[in-house]
Amino acid sequence: MADNSPRTDTSTDLEADAKLDDGHHHGGATGVSTMSDHEATTKNGDSKTLRRLAQNREAARKSRLRKKAYVQQLESSRVKLNQIEQELQRARQQGLYMGGGGGGYGNDQNLHSGAVAFDMEYGRWVEEQHRQMCELRAALQAHVADNELRLLVDGGMAHYDDVFRLKAVAAKADVFHLVSGMWKTPAERCFMWMGGFRPSELLKILIPQIEPLTEQQLLGICNLQQSSQQAEDALSQGMEALQQSLADTVMGGLLVSSPNVANYMGQMAMAMGKLGTLESFVRQADNLRQQTLQQMHRILTTRQAARGLLAMGDYFARLRALSSLWSARPRD
């Protein structure tokens, strides 16, 4: 009866199938769990790599933006400098520029006209110098023949002679304007000495740009630098003595309880006479600058002189650019 019972067979088969299914379910869950851990680890590693790549791309993008912003700032500063120079030129032409310190300067129309005329001429001189420097740079890069390069060098030297002639006329019209350096940019004024550059300091800047030098050339430049320094010291001492003498003359009798008009006018006349010496000092300083350039030209070869002129032009151009960047700096 037991063997023939379908109920018993069915029950046994069902129990076996249930155990088998239960085993499959347990095994499947274990496999899934193992695969999930592996996939999670892989995904974590991939996400870190992707995050690093994204960070690198973002850093590179920001770096490009910073470089682009810097270039745009330089270009904006250059445009702004040109606009300021044009506005200043228009103001001077309209008679609005009164100098560095107040109404008294602008009351003398002759002095004012002389300063404006010099500023306009000097502006044109700077533009012409920029054009000459571009030609000189192109010639050096192209390695043109010495005879062709000599023409450009002679033109550059003659151009400096022109500015010394302009300054001589300006010194007669208004020596205070010339000495104040208001015709220069602020950064250039930091290095001014008696209405222009200091020759001995300029030689120090130029020497590395014109090397290699022969022993004879180096000796000649060292002697030139020493003689320039001695002449500068003598002129500086003379200027200091003039300033002290002028101050004493102006201050004479200032504390007298009842000043005498005749004495006052006499003191002003003496002070005016001393101011004539100021023009002489500025003229001597320009002569020293001109002679130093000419002697430097004689010492150097044509190609060295070309490099020296180019370096000098670039030096003053960079000072002007520095002034522009300083004016355009962000102010918090």
> At residue 55, does pLDDT exceed 80?
yes
> At residue 85, does pLDDT exceed 80?
no
Q: How far is CA 17 from CA 13, 27, 28, in A?
A: 6, 15, 16
CA–CA dist 38, 171 (Å, integer): 88
172 or 251: which leads in pLDDT: 172
Nearest to 231 by CA among 204, 279, 193: 193
User: What pLDDT is stored for residue 80 in this prediction?
Assistant: 65
User: What pLDDT is stored for residue 66 in this prediction?
Assistant: 79
> Other CB atoms closer than 10 Å to residue 57's CB: what's the count?
10
CA–CA dist 264, 56 (Å, integer): 77
The answer to whether residues 278 and 242 touch, using CB atoms and an 8 Å cutoff, is yes
User: What pLDDT is stored for residue 42 in this prediction?
Assistant: 65
Q: What global pTM score does this model have?
A: 0.65
Q: What's the mean pLDDT when you consider all of the chain?
A: 80
Q: How far is CA 221 from CA 36, 182, 202, 224, in A?
A: 82, 32, 12, 5
